[in-house]
Chains A and B, each alone.
Chain A
Amino acid sequence: MDTLVDIKKLKKHFPILGGVFRRPVGMVKALDGVSLAIRRGQWLGLVGESGCGKTTLAKTVIRLWKPTSGHIYFDVPDETKALIEELESQGKNGSKLNYLLNENDLATFSGNRLRSLRRRAQLVHQDPFTSLDPRMKIKSTVGEPLRIHHVLSGEAARSAVKELLERVGLSAGQLERYPHQFSGGQRQRIAIARALATKPEFIAFDEPTSALDVSVQAQILNLLKDLKKEFGLTYLYITHELLIAESVCDYIAVMYLGKVVEMGRPEEIFHSPRHPYSQSLIAATPVPDPSRRVGRIVLPGEVPSPANPPPGCAFHPRCSRASDECRELAPELRPVSSDHYVACFHPL
């Protein structure tokens, strides 16, 4: 399987403005050097607590936001990436490097290039109650990407919209309605239909079921499964619920304070987590089975502010295994077994 989305050392810092003149007084390091590869056809789950930067990652990868530094490659051959890396390591800021970056690195895109990316990569927002324009009919909402990219128009667009809506489980008779006439689950289906309109290859989901009821959540997850198979899609799925990630994703990355702390296949992450944070996250997840009540690890303290992260490993103030090393140095992601990476000096 080849890599579709390759994120290299991605950083996104938000300035904290303060004072009378609104000068930046600090930086929120929402993403602090994230490297992640999403293979074609993969369903990558990104797990973490609020403030860990998972939403920022999705919005930056999809280029709603411009990264502070780092590279995002979308469907770029490995040779090109290797070439860029080589040129960069030589430290030459030549025109060839710039040309290659402008051609291939999403982080540098703007204007028309960005528009053409929008056809291939889509984002589904968390809250279906706010992500649909309340004053637009469903047919316009779902048909909007078709019109923006001049893919189809007139009768062809109309029937395409109808088909899309039917595909996500809504009837064609609902085309003329407004979003407020739908339930949360139906709205999320509409948002998914809109994301599918331009036949993208890659869709990022920002907690698409967290605003929905349990029974509806299962419907949406099954729909996503079917769509992925049918259209050969690649997913980046952001969630804070580990049970969802475990049951639907092919690969999981755990984030903490702007960094990926562990990556691996779901079986490995959940049955033999190597990072203490992953372990406590799994242990803290409530499971509807009273017999599993025992053996919980209650993690002390709270997630520190990304504006002022602790030095060294960001997790060390809450970690029971922390040593002096952890307080000073930030661990890099290292492989512990095949396809399983962990950023910890003292993995479990």
Chain B
Amino acid sequence: MKDLIKIRDLAVRFYTYEGIVYAIDDLDLEIRQGETLGIVGETGSGKTMTALAILRLIPYPGKIESGSILFFDKSIDQELELLKLRDDRMRSIRGNRISMVFQEPGAALNPVYTIGDQISEVFLLHRRRELAQRAKQRLDSLLSDGNGLAAGVKRPFWGWQRRIYDKIAKESHAFEPRLLGRLPLFRRLLWRMGYEAKLLTVDMLKDVEIPDAARVAVQYPHQLSGGMKQRAVIAMALACSPELLIADEPTTSLDVTIQAQMLELFRRIKVDKGASILFITHNLGVASEVCDRVAVMYAGRLCEVAPVGEMFVHPLHPYTKALLNAVPMPGKKLETIPGVLADALNPPPGCRFHPRCPSAMPICGQERAKLKEVSKDHMVACHLY
């Protein structure tokens, strides 16, 4: 099976007043279909930038300098080069085929709209044809058994509505419905699509285990707790059954018990929806709980990529080892990594970890280590191997 996302030689730089920040430097990474890939790293390691690069949402003054990101489109059995896609095509992918969940659920929700409005907007944006199809079916069933005076009066409108929905179902941006959608009063003819979107929204909220979903759908973000908000954000991200769900520190702002619920949810999503998940976290414990494979990043470069079992039992890269030793564990002496994080403006030459590395060799300061496969699926970028 082909990889869902294949990143090759990706470089992201930020042009600031103080100099050029090498946020991501020659990154090679693939996300397989149906897997949860974790990216683990400290501040400034470039893990969030990797995710944003996939969505082509690198903020100013950053720029994707070079490289390629291939997205495997199952429906046409072809790989799309995301970095060369037209802007409108990219927009139809964002939130639809690839969606993202952010760290702060509060910031991802607009405070002036209800949860239901915000999620149904995703459907209305990306699933017009499906909504029209559903609306048409519902109208058909109404027409077939609808009787009585009210139905009789409404029937001519229903016929018109049915025709419009039919048009949208055939071509999502047909002229007549688009025109009607812009006209006051006539716009009301399309209400059934909004209604269908609301129904789907409630289903979605039930899917992420929100109790009392119908009530939550009409509530505003500030009425929900942090955990509920994050569930709603996840529901929004899952609305269009994306092939890739990017989760950027989705549990960092949550409590431990809520985090455990959320991790359970992510595991279920992967199984139920068959989506790939790119899970970004700084918490090694969380990564070991949800991920199938883990990639460790340091100062914009990949250090090691391995399946979880391998990574946490037989880490190879000195940075991975040091990071694992720095996690407080009962009955274990707390070890520290000497020195400070590499300066993003003036990164050390060669391997960026070498000034802090206990097993640094002369070559480490001169030449960067290429990522190589040392055993099956276990890749490491270190001169030791």
User: Which positions in A face B, CB cutoff 8 Å?
Assistant: 49-50, 183-186, 213-219, 221-222, 240-244, 246-248, 266, 270, 280-281, 283-291, 293, 296, 298-300, 302-303
In the bound complex, residues from chain A placing their C-beta under 8 Å from that of B258 are 49, 302
5 additional contacts (CB under 8 A) given A246-B328, A290-B309:
A222-B336, A248-B328, A290-B312, A296-B264, A299-B257
Q: How far is the CB of A339 from chain B (nearest CB, A)?
A: 18
Q: Are A287 and B329 neighbours in the complex by a CB distance under 8 Å?
A: yes
Q: Are B341 and A213 neighbours in the complex by a CB distance under 8 Å?
A: yes
- Measured CB to CB, the nearest residue on chain A to B255 is A49
Known: A184-B43, A218-B334, A286-B263. A243 touches B257 (CB 8 A): no
In the bound complex, residues from chain B placing their C-beta under 8 Å from that of A280 are 257
Q: Are A185 and B309 neighbours in the complex by a CB distance under 8 Å?
A: no
Determine if B261 is an interface residue (Cβ-Cβ < 8 Å). Answer: yes
Q: Are A215 and B326 neighbours in the complex by a CB distance under 8 Å?
A: yes
Distance in angstroms between the alpha carbons of A237 and B228 in the assembled complex: 29
Known: A244-B328, A293-B289. A218 touches B337 (CB 8 A): yes
Between A and B, 18 residue pairs with Cβ closer than 8 Å are: A214-B283, A214-B323, A215-B336, A217-B326, A218-B327, A240-B256, A247-B332, A248-B334, A284-B259, A286-B260, A286-B283, A286-B289, A287-B288, A287-B329, A290-B289, A296-B260, A298-B264, A303-B255
Distance in angstroms between the alpha carbons of A280 and B259 in the assembled complex: 12
In the bound complex, residues from chain A placing their C-beta under 8 Å from that of B284 are 214, 288
User: Which positions in B face A, CB cutoff 8 Å?
Assistant: 42-43, 225, 227-228, 255-261, 263-264, 282-289, 308-309, 312-313, 322-332, 334-337, 340-341
Known: A284-B256, A288-B312. A213 touches B43 (CB 8 A): yes
In the bound complex, residues from chain B placing their C-beta under 8 Å from that of A219 are 336-337
Dominant secondary structure of chain B at its interface with chain A:
helix
In the bound complex, residues from chain A placing their C-beta under 8 Å from that of B335 are 218
In the bound complex, residues from chain B placing their C-beta under 8 Å from that of A266 are 330
Q: Are B329 and A214 neighbours in the complex by a CB distance under 8 Å?
A: no
Distance in angstroms between the alpha carbons of A284 and B324 in the assembled complex: 19
Distance in angstroms between the alpha carbons of A246 and B327 in the assembled complex: 12
Distance in angstroms between the alpha carbons of A319 and B336 in the assembled complex: 38
Q: Are B334 and A281 neighbours in the complex by a CB distance under 8 Å?
A: no
- Measured CB to CB, the nearest residue on chain B to A248 is B328
Distance in angstroms between the alpha carbons of A21 and B48 in the assembled complex: 46
CB-contact partner of A242 in B256, B331, B336, under 8 A: B256
Q: Are B309 and A247 neighbours in the complex by a CB distance under 8 Å?
A: no
- Measured CB to CB, the nearest residue on chain B to A243 is B328
In the bound complex, residues from chain A placing their C-beta under 8 Å from that of B286 are 286
In the bound complex, residues from chain B placing their C-beta under 8 Å from that of A221 are 328, 334
Q: How far is the CB of A155 from chain B (nearest CB, A)?
A: 31
Known: A286-B263, A288-B288. A49 touches B257 (CB 8 A): yes
Distance in angstroms between the alpha carbons of A288 and B259 in the assembled complex: 15
- Measured CB to CB, the nearest residue on chain A to B252 is A210
In the bound complex, residues from chain A placing their C-beta under 8 Å from that of B325 are 218
Known: A213-B282, A214-B323, A215-B337. A243 touches B330 (CB 8 A): yes
Distance in angstroms between the alpha carbons of A216 and B257 in the assembled complex: 25
In the bound complex, residues from chain B placing their C-beta under 8 Å from that of A296 are 260, 264
CB-contact partner of B261 in A185, A217, A222, A298, under 8 A: A298
In the bound complex, residues from chain B placing their C-beta under 8 Å from that of A241 are 256, 328
Known: A214-B323, A243-B327, A243-B330. A183 touches B340 (CB 8 A): yes
B264, B287, B335, B336 interface centre (most CB from chain A within 10 Å): B336
Q: Are A49 and B256 neighbours in the complex by a CB distance under 8 Å?
A: yes
CB-contact partner of B328 in A184, A247, A283, A284, under 8 A: A247
In the bound complex, residues from chain A placing their C-beta under 8 Å from that of B227 are 302
Distance in angstroms between the alpha carbons of A318 and B173 in the assembled complex: 49
In the bound complex, residues from chain B placing their C-beta under 8 Å from that of A283 are 260
Distance in angstroms between the alpha carbons of A142 and B98 in the assembled complex: 48
In the bound complex, residues from chain A placing their C-beta under 8 Å from that of B323 are 214-215
Q: How far is the CB of B70 from chain A (nearest CB, A)?
A: 29
In the bound complex, residues from chain A placing their C-beta under 8 Å from that of B287 are 288
Distance in angstroms between the alpha carbons of A147 and B335 in the assembled complex: 36
Known: A222-B334, A222-B336, A293-B289. A214 touches B341 (CB 8 A): no
In the bound complex, residues from chain B placing their C-beta under 8 Å from that of A247 are 328-332, 334
